[in-house]
Amino acid sequence: MCLQALLACGVLGGLLAAAALLPVVGSVGITTNSVARTLTDLPPSPHENPLPQRTVLLDRNGKQFAQFYTENRQIVPLRKVAPIMSQAIVAIEDSRFYEHAGLDIKGTLRALVTNAQAGGVRQGGSSLTQQLVKNILVENAQTSAERAQARAPSLKRKIIELRYALAMEKKYSKAEILERYLNIAYFGAGAFGIEAAAQRFFSVPAARLSLQQAATLAGAVRTPYATDPSLDRQRRTRLRERRDIVLDRMAQVGYITQARADTTKKNPLRLRLKPEPGGCAESAYPYFCIYVHKELLNNPVFGNTRAERERRLAKGGAVLRTTVDPIAQRAAQRAISSRVGAKDTEVAAEAMIEPGTGRIRAMAASKKYGRNPGNTNNGSRTTYNLPADMAHGGGQGFQAGSTFKVFTLATALSRGWRFDQGYMTPGSFVPDSGYVDCRGHKVNDPNTEIFNAGGEGSGGPYSLSTGTWKSVNIFYMMLEQRVGLCRVVRTAKALGIVRADGKPLHEVPTFTLGANEMDPVTVAGAFAAFGARGRYCRPMAISDIVERNGRRIQVPPSCDQAIDRGVADAVNHILTGVFTKGTMTGQGIDREAAGKTGTNNGYTSAWFAGYTPDLAAAVSLGDIRGSYRHPLRDVEIGGEYYGEVQGASLPGPIWVSSMSAALRDVPPSSFHHPDMGRFGGGHTPGLEKDEKDKKAEEAGRRAGERHTVERGLYRRQRIFLRERQNRRYREWRRWMDDRW
């Protein structure tokens, strides 16, 4: 509506007359001429920054599992708001909304007289358009002082609002103004905008609001804090009173009959308050949620600077489809929870990653996410993202142990070593020479003596295959020395290995024994590369983003051919033997798989990392109070007693259970057969086979079925002995409790 029309309707004339009749107005600096200039020299409509909305996280199937927000809001078009809601808000807040041009002359004159006589603002009278302007100015405020100014109860602020309101009426239609108002208004209980309010108060979308629900929400807008139904019964009573006022007003202006208003007022509020948790603590997948949140803040892909990424996350409005697989996530969580208790000080964590893409399919841990009462470390909760590194909310991690031997193995194969090539190893080993880091510095350690897991005197002839299957420490220390420490470090780095705390890798002789602290996501990502024939992909948690404007951005995998395909095939060939001839014998899954156990010196931590061509996973176990001060010896975990925890005794079974369940509906894939002309054969002194040995070996293969049966009996015997040991331990504990 133009200014000429305003004058014709008497709006400007009415205000000028009111200003002339009220000497008090002049006393606060408002004159007839200034009022005229105010209403004829209009500014552009206020700049509208994008309203903060929720950032929603979806799993790989499109189901929501978390959301972030500074303001719980979901913008909807007016066509997705029940018409009765529009009528209710217009009736109570601005019944002449469709008749004026941004200024309700009757209401404004009434408020002007009252406020002028009182010497300040004592009564409202703002139109819906003016209220919209106020909300926009508050949202645009960058500081608390600017927000206070936007809310200040002064005539100056009211005049500013009026000018902007008139400008907005020239720019937008009534429907557009009403839509903007309904999306910006605060309704209480943490709900901004009509869609969030409908969901929060009644657990329905705005399109399905009934009369009594619409009247309730319309009544809440005027005093959202005083009528917040989530706080107490007294505020619910006030909310009901406001609802009844709205219903009467709707009858007065003709939207409903008085009989219908009276009937509706007899009904209770019938609230169905729906929790709208923000953040990760209440998410179904909290550790994965934390990883995504940290990735959004730290990864330059989502903004050039951290400040830009923080603003983007705070404003929200995006829908993120993530890579988490509910089946794999459930499998990992169940496998861990069935073996490690939430209140145990020992914590287990697992990450699952898809080879060839780096997509993280699961992140699980034995403890729930959140703060413990009293902020202790030995409760059932933790605020550390246990499966991840520090950059993604995790802690310092645990030493990775013998899982790191795989990098020395890959380096040796790339240098021309063969499966049966090896040497005689002593019963102990001192790394006093031959170790040089990647800066060219000698890092020999003559004060350290290395033993095999069996202790001193357990040396002997080992090949690349047998040394891996039996996880022989001295064999791998000597192999690292022969192929070069720096080459091994470079192989690990090419496969994404970085310390959990973000510090440089410790390039020391015991690098191959896992002296560096790691996290399951990083280790799983490295092992996944072998399943993808040497193609390393950076672990990723977000597959695509739909921005608030509807634009879809796909996030492609970030991959490189880290090692030669043939070398990866050879590594896979050897590591499959870990399940059939090595430390995990008898604990395989129902398909071809490869892996490596990891048990640290002094049993400070234990690991298992393994993979198929379809999925890789890494499981870590250690004491959350500190792995060096609290080693995994003589411990009770998940109600079971362990004299000592090795990679095959607890992390291995967790891996087997989780992978079996995660891959249950996935057709099995096989590794590529290695190039035997390149890697087959070799020579290990002390392992030469004469004709008699070969015949004996052939006879042993023919008796494989019988051997399998015997091994099964042996396993059952071991289980029986362990159960008896656990029973005796529990009886001893009960006796001690009774005694003391």
Secondary structure element (H or E) that encloses residue 106, with its range? helix 105-118
582 touches 468 (CB < 8 A): yes
The answer on 700 and 673 residing in a single domain is: no
229 touches 237 (CB < 8 A): no
Residue 273 has pLDDT above 60, yes or no: yes
Q: How many CB atoms lie within 10 A of CB 53?
A: 24
Q: Side chain identity at 701, as an amino acid letter? A: R
In this structure, of 252-256, 508-512, 525-529, 719-723, the range with the lowest mean pLDDT score is 719-723
What's the Cα-to-Cα distance from 359 to each of 59, 82, 297, 340, rounded to whole Å? 12, 41, 19, 26
Provide the pLDDT for residue 111.
55
CATH number for 481: 3.40.710.10
Rounded to an integer, what distance in angstroms lies between the CA atom of residue 256 and that of residue 246?
11
Flag whether 104 is in a domain: yes
What's the Cα-to-Cα distance from 593 to each of 490, 577, 610, 616, rounded to whole Å? 25, 9, 7, 9
Rounded to an integer, what distance in angstroms lies between the CA atom of residue 647 and that of residue 587?
12
Rounded to an integer, what distance in angstroms lies between the CA atom of residue 264 and that of residue 246?
11
Q: Side chain identity at 414, as an amino acid letter? A: S
Backbone angles phi, psi at 154, to 5 degrees: -130, 155
Task: Note the pLDDT tens digit of each residue in 169-217.
Answer: 999 999 999 999 999 999 999 999 999 999 999 999 999 999 999 999 9
Rounded to an integer, what distance in angstroms lies between the CA atom of residue 424 and that of residue 687?
9
The answer on 699 and 598 residing in a single domain is: no
Q: How many CB atoms lie within 10 A of CB 659?
A: 30
Ramachandran bin of 238, using left for φ above 0, alpha for ψ from -120 to 50, beta for the remaining angles: alpha
Backbone angles phi, psi at 522, to 5 degrees: -65, -45
The answer on 212 and 104 residing in a single domain is: yes
Give the end of a domain, one of 240, 265, 290: 265
Residue ranges of E strands in 272-343: 319-322
Of the pLDDT bands very low, low, confident and very high (cuts 50, 70, 90), residue 309 is confident
Of the pLDDT bands very low, low, confident and very high (cuts 50, 70, 90), residue 315 is confident
Task: Note the pLDDT tens digit of each residue in 208-221.
Answer: 999 999 999 999 99
Rounded to an integer, what distance in angstroms lies between the CA atom of residue 563 and that of residue 530?
9
Provide the pLDDT for residue 532.
98
Provide the pLDDT for residue 120.
46
Q: Report the pLDDT averaged over residues 417-436.
A: 95
What's the Cα-to-Cα distance from 312 to each of 50, 318, 425, 488, rounded to whole Å? 11, 9, 58, 41
The answer on 717 and 579 residing in a single domain is: no
Secondary structure element (H or E) that encloses residue 245, with its range? helix 233-252
Flag whether 448 is in a domain: yes
Residue 705 has pLDDT above 50, yes or no: no
Flag whether 615 is in a domain: yes
Give the end of a domain, one of 265, 292, 310: 265
CATH number for 117: 1.10.3810.10
Give the end of a domain, one of 211, 236, 265: 265
Rounded to an integer, what distance in angstroms lies between the CA atom of residue 151 and that of residue 335?
55
Alpha carbon 85 to its chain centroid, in Å, reads 36
Provide the pLDDT for residue 4.
38
DSSP label of 117: H
Alpha carbon 685 to its chain centroid, in Å, reads 52
Rounded to an integer, what distance in angstroms lies between the CA atom of residue 575 and that of residue 37?
84
Which is nearest to 388 in space by CA: 303, 294, 309? 294
Task: Note the pLDDT tens digit of each residue in 18-65.
Answer: 444 344 444 444 444 555 555 556 678 788 888 888 999 999 999 999
Look at the block and give the residue holding tokens 């007022």. 265
Flag whether 580 is in a domain: yes
The answer on 234 and 86 residing in a single domain is: yes
- Residue 2 CB partners (closer than 8 Å, separation 6+): 170
Backbone CA torsion sign across 116, 120, 122, 128: positive
The answer on 624 and 701 residing in a single domain is: no
Burial category of 661 from C-beta neighbours within 10 Å (exposed 0-12, middle 13-18, buried 19 and up): middle
The answer on 706 and 605 residing in a single domain is: no
Question: Beta strand pairing status for 381-382 and 368-369?
Answer: parallel
Q: Report the pLDDT averaged over residues 546-570.
A: 94
Flag whether 293 is in a domain: no
Which is nearest to 25 in space by CA: 117, 99, 88? 117
593 touches 582 (CB < 8 A): no
Rounded to an integer, what distance in angstroms lies between the CA atom of residue 635 and that of residue 622?
11
Rounded to an integer, what distance in angstroms lies between the CA atom of residue 556 and that of residue 465?
37
557 touches 656 (CB < 8 A): no
Flag whether 291 is in a domain: no
Residue 539 has pLDDT above 60, yes or no: yes
Rounded to an integer, what distance in angstroms lies between the CA atom of residue 740 and that of residue 731?
14
Rounded to an integer, what distance in angstroms lies between the CA atom of residue 341 and that of residue 486?
40
The answer on 599 and 487 residing in a single domain is: yes
Q: How many CB atoms lie within 10 A of CB 85?
A: 25
Rounded to an integer, what distance in angstroms lies between the CA atom of residue 121 and that of residue 302?
46
Flag whether 362 is in a domain: no
The answer on 727 and 682 residing in a single domain is: no
Domains: count for the chain: 3
The answer on 179 and 94 residing in a single domain is: yes
Rounded to an integer, what distance in angstroms lies between the CA atom of residue 449 and that of residue 453?
13
Alpha carbon 156 to its chain centroid, in Å, reads 47
Task: Note the pLDDT tens digit of each residue in 604-629.
Answer: 999 999 999 999 999 999 999 988 89
Domain with 580 in it: 398-538+560-647+667-693
Q: Side chain identity at 435, as an amino acid letter? A: Y
Flag whether 706 is in a domain: yes
CA atoms within 13 A on the CB side of 2: 3
Task: Note the pLDDT tens digit of each residue in 50-63.
Answer: 888 899 999 999 99
Which is nearest to 313 in space by CA: 533, 534, 66? 66
Q: Report the pLDDT averaged over residues 360-372.
A: 92
Rounded to an integer, what distance in angstroms lies between the CA atom of residue 512 and that of residue 597?
13
The answer on 569 and 702 residing in a single domain is: no
The answer on 131 and 77 residing in a single domain is: yes
Starting from the edge strand earliest in sequence, which strands make up the sheet with 360-365, in order?
Answer: 360-365, 346-353, 616-623, 605-611, 594-599
Which is nearest to 468 in space by CA: 597, 588, 589, 585? 597
First to last CA, the chain: 89
Task: Note the pLDDT tens digit of each residue in 95-112.
Answer: 999 988 777 666 666 556
Look at the block and give the residue holding tokens 């308050």. 273
Which is nearest to 615 in space by CA: 389, 350, 392, 367? 350
Rounded to an integer, what distance in angstroms lies between the CA atom of residue 181 and that of residue 653?
57
137 touches 157 (CB < 8 A): no
For 607, the 3-state DSSP assignment is: strand
25 touches 16 (CB < 8 A): no
